[in-house]
A = this chain, B = another copy of it.
Amino acid sequence: MAAALRAGLIGSGFMGRAHAIAMHSVGPTFGAEYQIECVLLADTSPASAQRAAESLGFARSTGDWRELVADPHIDLVDICTPNHLHAEMALAALIAGKHVYCEKPLALDLAQSIALAEAAERSGVRHAIGFNYICNPMVQVARQIIQAGELGEIVAFHGRYIEDYMGDPRAPYTWRCQRRLAGSGALADLGSHLINMTHFLLGPVARVCGTVKTVHRQRAEPVSGAQRPVENDDMAWALVELASGVGGTFDVSRIATGFKCGLAMQVHGTRGTLTFDQERMNELRLYRADDAEGRRGFRTILAGPEHPDYAAFCPAPGHGLGINDLKVIEIRNVVRAIRTGEQAVPDFAEGLRVQRVMTAIEQSAAQGGWLRVDEVTV
Contact = CB atoms under 8 A, between A and B. Distances in A.
A14 B261 CA distance: 30
Contact of A322 (B273, B284, B313): B313
B17 A28 contact: yes
A258 B237 contact: no
A320 B279 CA distance: 7
Contacts of A279: 282, 302, 318, 320
Interface stretch (A74-82, A88-96, A209-217): A209-217
Interface in A274-303: 278-287, 289, 291, 293-302
A268 B255 contact: yes
A273 B261 contact: no
Interface stretch (A50-58, A101-109, A331-339): A50-58
Interface in A199-257: 209, 211, 213, 215, 234-235, 237-239, 247, 249, 251, 253, 255-257
B156 A256 contact: yes
B235 A237 contact: no
A314 interface: yes
Interface stretch (A64-72, A116-124, A164-172, A344-352): A164-172
A2 to B, nearest CB: 12
Given A168-B289, A299-B295, A256 B270 contact: no
Contacts of A46: none
A1 interface: yes
Contact of A370 (B56, B286, B321, B368): B368
B268 A256 contact: yes
B286 A295 contact: yes
Contacts of A323: 313-314, 319-322
A73 interface: no
Contacts of A60: none
A271 interface: yes
Nearest to A18: B314
A20 interface: yes
A330 interface: no
A324 B316 CA distance: 12
A269 B293 contact: no
A28 B327 CA distance: 14
Interface in A14-29: 14, 17-18, 20-21, 24-25, 27-29
Given A215-B155, A247-B235, A289-B257, A32 B55 contact: yes
A68 to B, nearest CB: 18
Given A239-B211, A321-B323, A299 B302 contact: no
A239 B209 contact: yes
Nearest to A250: B249
A257 B237 contact: no
Contacts of A262: 318
Given A258-B273, A270-B169, A270-B257, A27 B294 contact: no
Interface of A: 1, 14, 17-18, 20-21, 24-25, 27-29, 31-32, 35, 54-57, 141, 151-153, 155-156, 158, 163-165, 167-169, 209, 211, 213, 215, 234-235, 237-239, 247, 249, 251, 253, 255-262, 268-273, 278-287, 289, 291, 293-302, 304, 306-307, 313-325, 368-370
* The 5 residue pairs across chains A and B that have the minimum distance between CB atoms: A260-B318, A322-B322, A258-B287, A297-B299, A369-B369
15 contacts: A27-B57, A31-B55, A155-B215, A155-B255, A156-B253, A211-B247, A237-B239, A257-B287, A259-B273, A260-B302, A260-B319, A261-B316, A280-B280, A299-B299, A313-B323
